[in-house]
Structure 1
Amino acid sequence: MLLYSVCSSEVRIGHSLNEAESQHVASRRVMVQQCLQQHNISSSDEVPIIAVLGSGGGERAMIGLLGSLSQLSEEKLLDCIMYLSGVSGSTCCMAAVYKESDWSIRMETVKQNIIQRLGSGKVSHSVQYNKLKKMCERDNVSVTNIWAACFVSSVVKEIEDHLLTECRDQHTNDPYPIYTVIDKHCKHNTLYKDTWFEITPDECGYSLTGAFVDSKCLGSQFVKGAKTEEHPEIDMLYLQGLCGSALADGDKIRKWISHNIVCLSLTVDEVHPSILKSKTRQYEDAGLLVNSPYFSVLRKERNVDLIISLDFSDGDPFETVDKAAQICKDLQIPFPTVEHHGTHEEPKDFYVFNDNPNAPTVIHIPFFNAGNCKGNLNMWKNRYQTFQSAYNDKMISDLLEKAGLNITNTKKKLLREIEEVIKKKKEHS
């Protein structure tokens, strides 16, 4: 991975991948190929680009994604994943695992450390206060700092001080991480092309529009593409607060979850005038629009062949994929046709949508389903609400087991779809 010593002074306009991500993808292709060979899948030069998506869903999503990654590791499938992208609660899991260097090759140890912290850890009010006090020394402090220091820390049971860009040289053996939020103003104005904002260790910016800055600059100000005011890089606790601000549009806390971070003021035709003229931009939990980070991996330059959507959402088990399909239709982004039986019966543990030769194959796995709940779907859903107090040890253990079952029960199907994707790549090469 490339190391950046200072925050770049310019906004990068363009749709190409930054060099650091390109290098990561190129080096990981070898690992993906070796992983597939272990499963007797020959990919030759057609190595598939596979992305795992973690939806929102509070602590349920955090633990659900952790259990899923752990079981992918147990089943020797984790190394075939190129991208790991999350929104809301899933980003708390991502922040926890990417805190550990090369976490995917020692998944069990990393998982146990996280479980122990969630089960017995505690952040005192005095520690929260001191963290908030330190945050308030910044010039661009916002109410998201309060949300992160007081709420997020009480859920994840730690104060996360390390920086996102510290990951740049520590994860050559791991999937490339993408955190996703949305532009609040663009969402309300239904400017969906300009809504999706991605954050990686190397760059952050508008996924579909193609305007990016060095991630060290997240929080700095730019005018006409040039940096005019630099602020310290945000830490991972703030990032989790930003990604996990699902209540930002709620009546009770609407006034205290607004946040101003990056200002991109450019001379660019593709960017909507409302973004160009705005002095600051406000970002919020992507789950308020689509509770899964489809649009970061649908960025065509990433050439994703297979999307594995791990859906930890509450309510309609197909809402995320249905919304993604509709927005893709509106924006003319290739996406497979989504057809399912709706919510009239318990969802299965594995759905495949793959009728569009120009779009990635999409695998959709609802968290609670007929396969891992065995007729007790409502009981499990009622036990794990999105907004409730922190889970106890038993709840964490049971939830990890359910997540693991979704991988174990569908392993053969996953491998079959990977083979089909490789076959499709060969036919179109």
Structure 2
Amino acid sequence: MSASKPQKSGEVRIEHSLNEKEEEFVARRRNAVLQSLNKLKIHLSQDEVPNIALLGSGGGQRAMVGLLGSLVQLQKTGLLDCILYLSGVSGSTWCMASLYQDPNWSTELETVKDKIIQRLSSSKVSWTDAFAKLKKYYSEKDEKIFSLTDVFAAMVITTYVKEIDEHTLTDQWDQQSKDPFPIYMVIDKHCKQNNDGDPWFEFTPYEAGYSLTGAFVETSSFGSKFENGCKIKDQPEIDMLYLQEDPTSLPEDECYKVLMDLVDMNLSVLNGKDPSALDESIRTKLNKLNGGKRQMVQAKKMNLTDKKTAKQYMEQYTEDVYNDLNRCFSFWPKNIWTSIIKCLVDWIWGRNYDFLHNMKDKAVPSTLLESETRDYEDAGLLINSPYFSVLRKERDIDLIISLDFSEVDPFKVELRRAEASANSSNLKAHEEAACLNPSFWDKIEEWRKTYSTSKWPYSDVQMITDLMEVAGKNILNNEDNLLEQIHLAIKIHK
């Protein structure tokens, strides 16, 4: 592993190397891994210790609970202390964020697990508290970078994780010393859509940035405004609630459906398509939300060929929908509603200032240098696994344990693609990776329905513990396979 040069605070780092502090942590953690392997009667020297990464896929609360159950069983088998990196996307990050609230959670996992189960099964975040959090997001951020991620983190994710977690990643990590190194993964929306640049974006306790490009900024400075590689305006560090936002797992309540129909209607009019079906759908839902008291006047037939008039019509129509929704949620200030509608119309997720803006560096794709802001989305919208973060060459990973809680196994599907791109992308991939798929055997279809990705938040203790038990059995059934893969990884590392 190669460490970076010392970095000045508030400056962009462009290097294919590990952050200096990550390098120091890895050295300490490898000593702990050596002791754990010795306890498993795997005797080796310090230089032979393999670098093992554990991945958690997306899958909403199913992924959160499934990862927790898997980690509990890994601890019971003595394998958890052999893990160097823990990386997740989407629902798995909900579990990670909960775990890392407790210093050295991996040594007290039973206690931490019970606390998480109690919270998921009994706690509740009130709408008043959730809205207060949304207002805080709105007041802290520049208007340019307020997005739907702020809205759904405050108003929806809180209903799943049953808390408002205002810890930051850097503050959270200051208390840690014995746990695997966490990596959270998202994607750059522009790079994904245009198939250029580098879509893979990672957050660690020390740095946030583009995994393949090797362009990073201190995590505490992510979201701040940069110009030519230097920070020029502070924004508060994003908190763990924001980092857990996951639009792929949302249930479709009536209010959410109205907003989605409104987005589709704006797009239809923009493209000259008849919006009448969407208009009727919106009116039906608003009628239901308002207890049968229809408020909006009947729509007039618009001339779609007159773009200016159609745009003016939709601006007024959007305002009318806002007024109707505001009768249901009268405590929402108009300025916040207006910003939310704007974000919906433009489909703005995860917008933050681009810390690479106006830099002049040939090592960075030009598309990452040009815009003032970038949009970041749940990685599950591209590939539902964070494997790119651990396949960085400088992390020198010897073994990947991939836990899949999604509809299909994303790691198996993409492993060959990663190997094919390894040379050009500075990645290191190994076929010896142990890919574990915690499917539910004979009752798989029944389990899929019970624990669907879009299911409303779990509240039943038995439902949570049953899912944890199944995930744990998957680890137990694969214990011998894992040990075998560790032996192979040791041979690779020599």
TM over 0.5: yes
Give the whole-Å Cα distance in 2 for the aligned partners of 1:169 and 1:417: 32
Contact 2:198 2:210 in 1 (8 A): yes
Does residue 383 (structure 1) correspond to residue 471 (structure 2)? The answer is no
CA 1:115 to 1:235, structure 2 compared with 1: closer, same or farther past 3 Å? same
Partner of 1:368: 439
Q: Which digits, 9 at most, give the CA deviation of each residue in 1:20-71, with x for residues without a partner?
A: 1001100011110111111111221210000000000000000011111111
Cα deviation, 1:273-308, whole Å, max 9, x if unaligned, reads: 111101101000001111000100000000000000
Q: Which has the higher contact order (CA 8 A, sep 6+)?
A: 2
Matched AA of 1:180: M
Matches within 5 A, 1:36-185: 36-44=37-45, 45-140=47-142, 141-185=146-190
**Which residue of structure 1 aligns with residue 22 of structure 2?**
21
**d(CA) in 2 for partners of 1:232 and 1:377?**
44
Cα deviation code 1:215-259 (max 9, x no counterpart)? 001211111111122111111111111xx23379x9667645522
**1:373-423: CA deviation from partner (whole Å, max 9, x where unpaired):** 3x2221112211000111222211110001100111111110111011112
Greater mean alpha carbon deviation, residues 21-30 or residues 132-141: 132-141
**How many residues were matched structurally?**
391
For 1:55 and 1:311, the matched residues in 2 are separated by 5
Q: Letter of the aligned partner of 2:86 in structure 1?
A: L
TM-score (norm 1): 0.87
Residue aligning to 2:399: 306
Offset, 1:143: 2.2
Distance 1:425 1:328 in 2: 18
| Structure 1 gap segments, 5+ residues each | 1-5, 337-356
Contact in 2 for aligned 1:87/1:179 (Cα 8 Å): yes
The structure number with the bigger radius of gyration is 2
Corresponding residue SS for 2:195: coil
Counterpart in the other structure of 1:203: 207
Q: Closer, same or farther in 2 for the Cα pair 1:7/1:216, shift >3 Å?
A: farther
C-alpha separation in 1, matches of 2:44 and 2:482: 15
Higher alpha-carbon deviation: 161-170 or 180-189: 161-170
The letter of the residue matching 2:22 is E
TM-superposed CA distance for 1:320, in Å, is: 3.5
CA distance in 2, matches of 1:13, 1:420: 34
- Give the deviation of 1:135 after TM superposition: 1.4
Could you say what secondary structure the match of 2:435 adopts? strand
Residue number in structure 1 paired with 2:36: 35
Work out the CA distance in 1 between the residues paired with 2:188 and 2:411: 18
- Partner letter of residue 20 of structure 2? E
Letter in 2 for 1:120: S
Assess, with a 3 A threshold, how the Cα gap between structure 1 residues 288 and 77 changes in structure 2: closer, same or farther. same
Deviations 1:189-232 (A, max 9, x none): 112x6110000111000011010000001211111111122111
Contact 1:147/1:257 (CA < 8 Å) preserved in 2? no
Correspondent of 1:258 among 349, 352, 365? 349
Is the 2:120–2:161 Cα contact (8 Å) retained in structure 1? yes
1:278 is matched with 371
Q: Are the structure 2 counterparts of residues 28 and 330 from structure 1 closer, same or farther at C-alpha, using a change threshold of 3 Å?
A: closer
Unaligned runs of 5+ in 2: 1-6, 251-256, 264-343
What is the rounded CA distance, in whole Å, between the counterparts of 2:139 and 2:186 in structure 1?
Answer: 25
- TM-aligned CA distance change 1:262 to 1:361, over 3 Å: farther
Q: Structure 1 counterpart of 2:207, which letter?
A: E
Distance 1:299 1:409 in 2: 30
3-state SS in 2 of match to 1:136: helix
Identity %: 49
TM-score (norm 2): 0.75
Q: Distance in 2 between matches of 1:136 and 1:319?
A: 35
Mapping for residues 396-407 of structure 1, pairs under 5 Å: 396-407=464-475
Q: CA deviation at 1:319?
A: 3.7
Q: After the TM superposition, which of the residue ranges 277-286 and 220-229 deviates more from structure 2?
A: 220-229
- Whole-angstrom CA distance in 1 between matches of 2:79 and 2:133: 38
Is the partner of 1:258 in helix, strand or coil?
coil
Q: Could you tell me how far 1:364 is from its partner in structure 2? A: 0.9
Could you tell me how far apart the structure 2 residues matched to 1:425 and 1:59 are? 36
| In the alignment, structure 1 residue 408 sits paired with structure 2 residue 476 | yes
Q: CA RMSD in A?
A: 2.2
State the secondary structure of the residue aligned to 1:137.
helix
Equivalent residue, structure 2, for 1:322: 413
User: Structure 1 residues 276, 328: CA separation in 2 closer, same or farther (over 3 Å shift)?
Assistant: farther
2:37 & 2:244 partners in 1: Cα distance?
33
SS in structure 2 at match of 1:361: coil
Question: CA 1:335 to 1:9, structure 2 compared with 1: closer, same or farther past 3 Å?
Answer: closer
Specify the code of the residue in structure 2 equivalent to 1:397: T
3-state SS in 2 of match to 1:367: coil
- Secondary structure at 1:405 match in 2: helix
Q: Given the alignment, which residue of 222, 228, 235 partners 2:239?
A: 235
Q: Which residue of 1 aligns with 2:340?
A: none
